[in-house]
Amino acid sequence: MFSQAEGCLELLDCDGKLPGLKFAKGFTDWKVFDADMNVHESFEQVPEKLKKSQIHEGMFPNVEFNQKIGLDLCLRLLPHHNDDGGFFVAMIKKVKPLPWENAQDKDKVLSECPLISKRVKTSLTEEDGLAPLKSKPRVRREVKGRSNKKIGNMFAAKDFFTFCEKDDVVLSKASEFYGFKQDPELFFHPHGTYKNVYSVNEAVKDVLTSEANQSINIFIAGIKALVKESRSSSAVQLKPKATFAAHVTKRTLEISANDMIKLLEAKESVEFKACLEDSTTQNLNDMISQSGVGVVKFSCRLPDDKTIRYEALGFVGRERVLLDVNESERYHGLLTLDQKSLTC
C-alpha cells in the first residue's frame, strides 16, 4: 500500500497511546513461508502452483523501503502478550491525495498496480460513471440431513446441538480429569457422538434450544472444546483443544523454558527421562501414578519477561511425551521463546 501511495501516506508512532499494552515492534524484514512451513527466499523461486493460490509477490519484504517508511512503528500484538488474540496495529496519516485520486493518473495506476484489489478497482471505475462489474447471484443450496430430509440450513438444529446432561458420564470423567469448572449442561456434542464437543454460554444455549428459533439458519455455535482421544492408553475418552486449554486447571505442569524448547523441537515422541530435566521427569512420573496417562498442559515463563507464560498441550504416556502442535504453532512457540535451535 505504501509503495503504491508514493509518499502520500506516513506511519505514526503510537507507542504510549495505550499505557500498559504489551506488544512487539513491527518487522522491516521477514521470511515468507507456504502452508507447509517451507521458506521461499524470493518470488521467482516460488512454484507456479503456489503463486496462484498462496504466495503473492507483495508478501516479500523490501528492507530498504520498509526502513524508510518506519515499518517498525507498527505494533504486533501476539496472543501471549495480553492473553488475547493476535492483532496488527498501524496508525496511518494521509498527507496528500493518493495517486489514484488524481484523474490524470487513475488509469495508469489501475492498470499497473497488482496490489489494488478487484473491489477497489471496481469502486474507482464506478466513480467514473462506468458500469460496475456484475457478480453471480447467490443460490440457496438444499442440504440433506441424516434422515434424508432436505433442510434449509447446514445442520438440523435438534440433531446437531445435542446438549449434555448434568450427569453425563463421559464428560464428567473428563471434567474431573482436567479440572473443568464449566456447567456440563453448557456442552453439546453433534448428533449424540463424542467426536467433537462444543462449549457455549447460557445465552447461546437459550437461543439454540428455544422452540421459537428452530427456523433460524444456524451454521455453528460455541467453541470446539474437546475432541475424541484416539490413544487407547488415555485415562479418559476426550482431550481438550488448544482453544480450551485455559480451562485446564488439573494436569498442568510448570517446566523450564529449555524443556519447552526441547518439546517444541521434537516432531516425534521422546523419552522424557532421557530428554527433560530431572525435576520435570519426576513431576511427570508423579502425575502418571496419581491420575494416569493422558494430556498435560505444559507451561513455562518467557526468558526475557517472567510475567508472560507460554503454554502448550501434549500427550504423556508411561515413558514418552509429544506436544500437540502443528508446524506453524511450533515455529511460533520457538520464536516466542527467542530460540534458534536446541535439540534433544
Helix (H) or strand (E) holding 151: strand 150-151
- pLDDT at residue 86 in the model: 85
Evaluate if residue 138 carries a pLDDT over 60: no
Global confidence as pTM: 0.64
Residue with cell 460513471: 129
Average pLDDT, the chain: 84
- pLDDT at residue 67 in the model: 94
Residue 153 — very low, low, confident or very high, per pLDDT cuts 50/70/90?
A: very low
Please list the alpha-helical segments (H only) found in the chain.
2-5, 48-53, 63-69, 79-82, 106-112, 118-127, 157-160, 169-178, 202-209, 257-265, 272-275, 278-291, 327-336
Q: Residues of the chain with pLDDT > 70: what percent?
A: 81
Nearest to 109 by CA among 89, 86, 125: 125
Evaluate if residue 4 carries a pLDDT over 50: yes
Query: Going edge to edge, which strands form the sheet with 223-228?
Result: 187-188, 196-199, 223-228, 238-240
- pLDDT at residue 342 in the model: 40
Q: Residues of the chain with pLDDT > 90: what percent?
A: 53
Domain layout of the chain by residue ranges? 2-127, 144-242, 251-336
Q: Please measure the distance between the N-terminal and C-terminal CA atoms of the chain and give it in whole angstroms.
A: 44
At 280-315, the pLDDT tens digits run: 999 999 999 999 999 999 999 988 777 788 999 999
- The total of other beta-carbon atoms located within 10 Å of residue 187's CB is 24
- pLDDT at residue 130 in the model: 45
At 176-212, the pLDDT tens digits run: 999 999 999 999 998 888 999 999 999 999 988 887 7
Query: CB of 9 within 8 A of CB of 97?
Result: no
